[in-house]
């Protein structure tokens, strides 16, 4: 059995770990609030971009657009959003699992990774990395999203890739997040057909509908990427909060357990000492 | 004469930038400058890097906008979806100056691996920020 001193030391070390996990939990909670605020801000822009694309598609008969036509080729690219730092439970692992299940065959797949964890993982798995970004995932800006989007769209135009997907963790609630694969390019015209029987609005497009569409679709892709980045950062903080909460709870259980052990050891030591004294006194008689 | 106004909204991915009833707005599209008064025909146009000039309660306000698109409609007035939008007071002039120098240097070097169109766009953004930031401060 461990000595009293050893147990006491254990308690002290578990206690300091507990303090750290508790602090990390609080930090994540604050960051989560911030990320959720950002999520609300991007929504009007995103919804409106989507709305314009659907209106143009519906009323101006532009159906032969390179961004809309599926291609023969099978070169898929995935933009994978992960975190830079660990200690966030299964957050990254869930994203990887989703990619591994979907991205086949491996020689046709290339990855654009955001976050250190993603880069490390896909390098180890020997996937083809087109680009990798770090230090974005915690506090993403629209400029970051535009940078990623421009690169991906350029590759799509040049024919380096035939399909573009975005993999991120969708934020369902603070304790629930789920990885999602979202196709970005070519755009499915069917997603834009939700709007029902609205009469054709009187609208002129300057310079012409094709060019407006060609300009707006990349903006839409960028806003999707930005939305994904912001949502992923909220999810990351949520996952970390839950993980740290569990860790703090486990530390408390461990401390309880160790305190019990310590008291038992103390009691045993007292009992032993007493019986030694009594035994000694009896021997003298 | 009762002043006619219409609703102007400027929305960026970072949130709503401006929302008010205005008398006139002028912006730069890829086809040239365009002014909108109340009762304009519905139109969708692509915004270029340029100034956004708003006439609100007989006062002129200027902001720097770096691309996006604009929708004029009868029901919802004018909605501008900008990549970025800044008031003169929000512009970081030293940063814009640094960006200008960087872009000029890149254009001069003319290396094969440098994207000239991108450098040019960066230069135009920097020049716009400097112009708006220095000449339209109203404090």
CB distance from B81 to chain A under 8 Å?
yes
User: What is the reported pTM?
Assistant: 0.83
Q: How far is CA B42 from the centre of its chain?
A: 20
What residues form DSSP beta bridges with B59?
B56
**pLDDT tens profile A96-129:** 999 999 887 888 899 999 999 999 999 998 898 9
Number of H helices, E strands in chain B: 2, 8
CATH topology (fold) of B6-86: ATP Synthase; domain 1 (2.60.15)
CB distance from B11 to chain A under 8 Å?
yes
Q: In the 8-state DSSP scheme, what is residue B88? A: G
What residues form DSSP beta bridges with A167?
A80, A181
- Minimal Cβ distance to A216: which of B15, B34, B69: B69
CB distance from B45 to chain A under 8 Å?
yes
Contact criterion met (CB < 8 Å) for B44 and A212: yes
Report yes or no: B88 and B82 within 8 Å, Cβ to Cβ: no
B87 in helix, strand or coil?
coil
The pLDDT of residue A114 = 93
Nearest Cα of chain B lies from the Cα of A24 at a distance, in angstroms, of 27
The pLDDT of residue B1 = 43
Nearest Cα of chain B lies from the Cα of A97 at a distance, in angstroms, of 31
Residue B25, φ and ψ in degrees, nearest 5:
-140, 140
Tell me the C-alpha distance between A55 and B73, whole Å.
13
CB distance from A151 to chain B under 8 Å?
no
- Chain B positions touching A44 (Cβ under 8 A) are 11, 16
Q: How far is CA B115 from the centre of its chain?
A: 24
Nearest Cα of chain A lies from the Cα of B11 at a distance, in angstroms, of 6
Cα separations (Å) of A61 from A190, A210, A283, B114? 14, 10, 109, 38
Other beta carbons within 10 angstroms of residue B54's beta carbon come to 20
Q: In the 8-state DSSP scheme, what is residue B124? A: H
Helix (H), strand (E), coil (C) string for chain A: CCCHHHHHHHHHHHHHHHHHHHHHHHHHHHHHHHHHHHHHHHHHHHHHHHHHHHHHHHHCCCCCCCCCCCCCCCCEEEEEECCCCCCCCCHHHHHHHHHHHHCCCHHHEEEEEECHHHHHHHHHCCCEEEEEECCCCCCCCHHHHHHHHHHHHHHHHHCCCCEEEEEEEEEEECCEEEEEEEEEECCCHHHHHCCCCCCCCCCEEECCHHHHHHHHHHHHHHHHHHHHHHHHHHHHHHHHHHHHHHHHHHHHHHHHHHHHHHHHHHHHHHHHHHHHHHHHHHHHC
Paired tokens of B32: 């040239």
The pLDDT of residue A199 = 58
CB distance from A59 to chain B under 8 Å?
no
Contact criterion met (CB < 8 Å) for A205 and B79: no
Domain ranges of chain A: 44-240
pLDDT averages per 10-residue partition of chain A, 285 residues:
85 95 94 88 80 74 75 88 90 93 85 93 91 88 89 89 91 87 82 58 79 85 89 91 94 95 93 94 89
pLDDT averages per 10-residue partition of chain B, 139 residues:
80 88 93 91 91 90 91 88 91 91 84 72 91 79
Give, to the nearest 10 degrees, the angle between helix A116-124 and helix A91-102. 40
- Chain A positions touching B81 (Cβ under 8 A) are 45, 48-49, 219
What is the CB-side half-sphere exposure of residue A127 using CA atoms within 13 A? 29
B55 in helix, strand or coil?
strand
The pLDDT of residue A280 = 93
Tell me the C-alpha distance between A241 and A174, whole Å.
8
Tell me the C-alpha distance between B37 and B78, whole Å.
10
- Minimal Cβ distance to A44: which of B11, B44, B74: B11
Tell me the C-alpha distance between A254 and B16, whole Å.
49
- Chain A positions touching B34 (Cβ under 8 A) are 206
Cα angle vertex A52, ends A202, B6, to 5°? Answer: 60
Q: Which residues contact A87 (CB under 8 A, 6 or more apart)?
A: A24, A240, A243, A244
The pLDDT of residue B114 = 60
Q: Which CATH superfamily is domain B89-135 in?
A: ATP synthase delta/epsilon subunit, C-terminal domain (1.20.5.440)
Complex ipTM value: 0.78
Report yes or no: B4 and B74 within 8 Å, Cβ to Cβ: no
- Minimal Cβ distance to B13: which of A45, A52, A215: A45
Q: How far is CA A185 from the centre of its chain?
A: 21
For domain A44-240, which CATH number applies: 3.40.1380.10, 3.30.420.40, 3.40.50.1110, 2.60.120.1270? 3.40.1380.10
Nearest Cα of chain A lies from the Cα of B53 at a distance, in angstroms, of 20
The pLDDT of residue A27 = 93
Contact criterion met (CB < 8 Å) for B46 and A202: no
Domain ranges of chain B: 6-86, 89-135
Cα separations (Å) of A215 from A52, A130, B64? 12, 24, 20
The pLDDT of residue A24 = 93
The pLDDT of residue A43 = 78
């Amino acid at each position: 059995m461990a000595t009293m001193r050893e147990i006491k030391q254990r308690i002290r070390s578990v206690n300091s770990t507990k303090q750290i996990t508790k602090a990390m939990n609080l930090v994540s909670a604050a960051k989560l609030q911030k990320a959720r605020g950002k999520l609300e801000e991007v929504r009007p822009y995103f919804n409106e971009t989507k709305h314009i694309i659907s209106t143009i598609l519906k009323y101006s008969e532009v159906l032969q657009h390179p961004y809309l036509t599926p291609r023969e080729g099978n070169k898929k690219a995935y933009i994978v959003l992960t975190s830079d730092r660990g200690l966030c439970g299964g957050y990254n692992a869930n994203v990887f699992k989703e990619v591994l299940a979907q991205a086949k065959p491996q020689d046709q797949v290339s990855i654009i990774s955001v976050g250190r964890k993603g880069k490390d993982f896909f390098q180890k798995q020997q996937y083809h990395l087109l680009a990798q970004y770090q230090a974005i995932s915690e506090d993403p800006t629209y400029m970051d999203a535009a940078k990623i989007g421009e690169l991906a769209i350029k590759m799509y135009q040049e024919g380096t890739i035939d399909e573009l997907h975005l993999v991120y963790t969708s934020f369902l609630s603070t304790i629930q997040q789920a990885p999602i694969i979202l196709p970005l390019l070519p755009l499915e015209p069917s997603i834009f057909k939700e709007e029902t029987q609205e009469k054709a609005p009187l609208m002129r497009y300057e310079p012409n509908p094709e060019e407006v569409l060609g300009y707006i679709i990349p903006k839409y892709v960028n806003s999707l990427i930005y939305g994904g980045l912001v949502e992923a950062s909220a999810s990351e903080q949520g996952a970390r909060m839950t993980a740290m909460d569990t860790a703090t709870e486990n530390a408390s259980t461990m401390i309880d357990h160790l305190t019990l052990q310590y008291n038992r050891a103390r009691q045993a030591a007292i009992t032993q000492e007493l019986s030694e004294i009594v035994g000694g006194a009896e021997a003298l008689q | 004469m009762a002043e006619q106004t219409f609703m102007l909204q400027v929305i960026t991915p970072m949130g709503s930038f401006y929302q008010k009833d205005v008398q006139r707005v002028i912006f730069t599209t890829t086809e040239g400058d365009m002014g909108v008064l109340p009762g304009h025909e519905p139109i969708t146009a692509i915004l270029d890097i340029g100034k956004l000039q708003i006439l609100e309660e007989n006062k002129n306000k200027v902001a720097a906008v770096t691309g996006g698109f604009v929708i004029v409609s009868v029901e919802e007035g004018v909605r501008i979806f900008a990549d970025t939008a800044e008031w003169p007071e929000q512009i970081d002039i030293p940063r814009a100056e640094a960006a200008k120098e960087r872009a000029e240097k890149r254009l001069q070097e003319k290396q094969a691996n440098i994207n000239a169109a991108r450098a040019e766009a960066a230069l135009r953004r920097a020049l716009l920020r400097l112009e708006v930031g220095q000449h339209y401060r109203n404090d």
